[in-house]
Chain A
Amino acid sequence: MLEIKNLNASINNKEILKGLNISIKPGELHAIMGPNGSGKSTLANVLSGKEGYKISGELKYQGKSLKEISIDERAQKGIFLAFQYPTEIPGVNTSNFLRTSLNKIRKAQGKKELDALSFLKIIKEKSNELGMDEKMLLRQLNVGFSGGEKKKNEILQMKILDPSLIILDETDSGLDIDALRIVADGVNSSRNKQKSFLVITHYQRLLNFIKPDYVHVLADGKIVKSGTKELAIELEKTGYKGIN
């Protein structure tokens, strides 16, 4: 699904990623943990295609290079990034935006666009699963949403857009325990043999709810240690300083 070899990324002449390697197969869920400033969010941004980074190395998605592929095309090909800080978009109705986005992606994938009624049915079902108030969908996109509502809205988008590679950038930050459980359930119920996940997190806490197949430790722009979910538990005890 995703193949990263010797990835280097710099912004404003500052090197952030320094030779990162990772390989994710369909159906796998990988967690990346690491201290502040280790390059976790940069990795998420680079995968989404965000502009402004100078990149070298190999970045392959479904066997093809992602170089030269723009942000929107990556989304259309099934890459989804759940933001750490979802952007507030005034004047844009959440539900209308979701339908525009879904139909855009469906069209690019050669699927039929959904009419308002079928869309309404899907959004109703998915928002109920996440315990979201439907009235929220009539509001402006992320405007005035609480931290938890914003994160739930990201997971709702993930469920509706049905992507193949899902990157969760610190989705657990700012969530109370109940919201965390709902978000984790949302992720767990979406897991299947075709989808791959890259879960970026600061704390081991999220991994109690979402069980990773692999855990990697990112430090100073490189993966310094990889293992199974036991590695996360070890990290919680020793801290990042204990890893070498």
Chain B
Amino acid sequence: MLNFKIHSNEIDKIGNFTKEEKDFRLKNLKYFNDTGFPNKKNEDWKFSDLKEIVSKNFNKLDIKSLKSEKPKIDFINDFEHNYIVITNGELTLSNFKYEEKSKVKLKSFINDNYSGKKENNPLVNLNHALSDKGYFLEVKENYKFKKILVIYYLFTEDLNENILNSKNKIVIGKNSEIHLLDYLINVSKKNFFNNVYEDVILGSSARLKNIYLQKDKSSGYFHKYSKNRLSAGANFSSFIFPTGLKFNKLDLEFNLEGENCECNLQSASFLSQQEHQEIKTRINHFYPNCKSYQKVKNVLNEDSKGVYQGKIFVKDEAQKTDAYQLSKAILLGERSEFDSKPELEIYADDVKCSHGSTSGSLDKDSIYYLMTRGLTKIESTKLLVNGFLNEVIDSIKSDSIRNFIKTKLEEQLLNEYKKH
């Protein structure tokens, strides 16, 4: 059993901090050391026993940071884009050639907020204590990005039982709009842990469209906590296509802090082998007339496990809330597992809230139908699985980006089927 306790002098190794910041880090380190990695006794982690997962797969977790070399990146050629390169959590390159430079601000970042109450997530405590890298991105007011911004998250070959703690902050000014593609490229062959804390702030009537995609399979164990704040009239859409991490937990909080906000979250995942993925959301409707929409789709092969915990909270004054949540899972492997926990907590009386969850094997009649048209069982399965996941991909409006994502995901699926 890995005993992962961290000595307070590790904080001094990260850098020299003001007393305020150092106290904040020490306090959070203590919170983490008191509990360690969360296990299934913690309600928020009951389907993802991280203590066990880490103990099973890691001999040690190295917290010292790596020096990043100049990254070699396979840039995407399919569409024109601005880019940022983040190497092992550190901002290493950027290019905003399609934009007005004065409208964008980008810098390396560690933290700028040392207050706040104790966070209940031990991984957030750990991040607060040890974060040593990250970026800050700001889009000034009244500016609409002309091209998509691709954020290349590169994980290098020299990672070996490291734990990375990084913090990012994204601010989209009033009436501004940006489309982001988080594109993960992972060349590390060894296990490592990536622990990210992200703050996203949308000014009034700001729009953010975010797509999360991985280039290929890897031995990463990822946790990301992301806090998203939306001002009045803001619009956030997120498309999540994760495939191929050993462990991935996305803990996403959306605070709708003004009227007429809209938050849209869709996910399509194909998991195999012993991959484990959890999407946990909490959408807080604090103001009237806001909309939230969540659709989470999972295909689970072999011994994989998918988890969806989705909570919708509606404050008493948040009348005319329209909140929707749906999770669907197809279990292909006999030992695969899907756990779903929808939660509604509603204090307003004039709201429309609905949730649904289904899981099961592929429809036998559909396979039969396709086979009578000459397709083999495997081909029929493939077509149905693609169809199931495509529904999410098809709601991406840009043709070039949708096709890029479709091609990438089809390549990954093809590799899966080849194994059989």
Contacts and interface: CB of A to CB of B under 8 A. Distances in A.
Interface string A64-75: 000000111011
A76 B376 CA distance: 10
A75 B384 contact: no
Interface string B363-391: 10110111111111101000110111111
A144 to B, nearest CB: 14
Determine chain B's interface SS by DSSP, over half rule: helix
A92 interface: yes
A101 B374 contact: yes
Size bracket, chain A contacts = 20 to 34
B390 A72 contact: no
A87 interface: yes
Contact of B374 (A51, A72, A87): A72
Contact of A92 (B368, B376, B384): B384
Contact of A87 (B366, B376, B377, B386): B366
Nearest to A82: B372
A109 B70 CA distance: 55
Interface string B331-375: 000000000000000000000000000000001011011111111
A59 interface: no
A215 interface: no
A81 interface: yes
A89 B374 contact: no
B373 A90 contact: no
A51 B371 CA distance: 11
Contact of A101 (B368, B375, B387, B389): B375
Contact of A91 (B368, B376, B388): B388
A76 B369 CA distance: 14
Given A97-B383, A100-B383, A89 B375 contact: no
Contact of A71 (B368, B383, B390): B368
A165 to B, nearest CB: 12
Interface string A84-113: 001101111000010011001100100000
Interface string B183-225: 0000000000000000000000000000000000000000000
Contacts of B363: 87
A71 B386 CA distance: 22
Contacts of A71: 368, 371-372
Interface in A24-83: 48-51, 70-72, 74-76, 80-81, 83
A184 interface: no
Contacts of B388: 90-91
A80 B373 CA distance: 8
B387 A90 contact: yes
Contacts of B376: 72
A161 B375 CA distance: 13
Contacts of B384: 89, 91-92
A83 B369 contact: yes
A75 B369 contact: no
B383 A75 contact: no
A157 interface: yes
Interface string B291-323: 000000000000000000000000000000000
Contacts of A92: 383-384, 386-387
B10 to A, nearest CB: 49
A105 B375 CA distance: 8
A108 B374 contact: yes
B379 A104 contact: yes
Contacts of B368: 50-51, 71, 87
A72 B366 contact: no
A89 B370 contact: yes
A92 B390 CA distance: 8
A51 B368 CA distance: 9
Interface of A: 48-51, 70-72, 74-76, 80-81, 83, 86-87, 89-92, 97, 100-101, 104-105, 108, 140, 157, 161
23 contacts: A50-B368, A71-B371, A72-B371, A72-B372, A72-B374, A72-B376, A72-B377, A74-B372, A80-B372, A87-B363, A87-B366, A89-B384, A90-B391, A91-B394, A92-B387, A100-B375, A100-B383, A101-B370, A101-B373, A101-B374, A101-B375, A108-B374, A140-B387
Given A104-B379, A161-B374, 12 more contacts: A49-B371, A49-B372, A71-B368, A72-B371, A72-B374, A76-B374, A87-B369, A89-B383, A91-B390, A91-B394, A104-B373, A105-B373
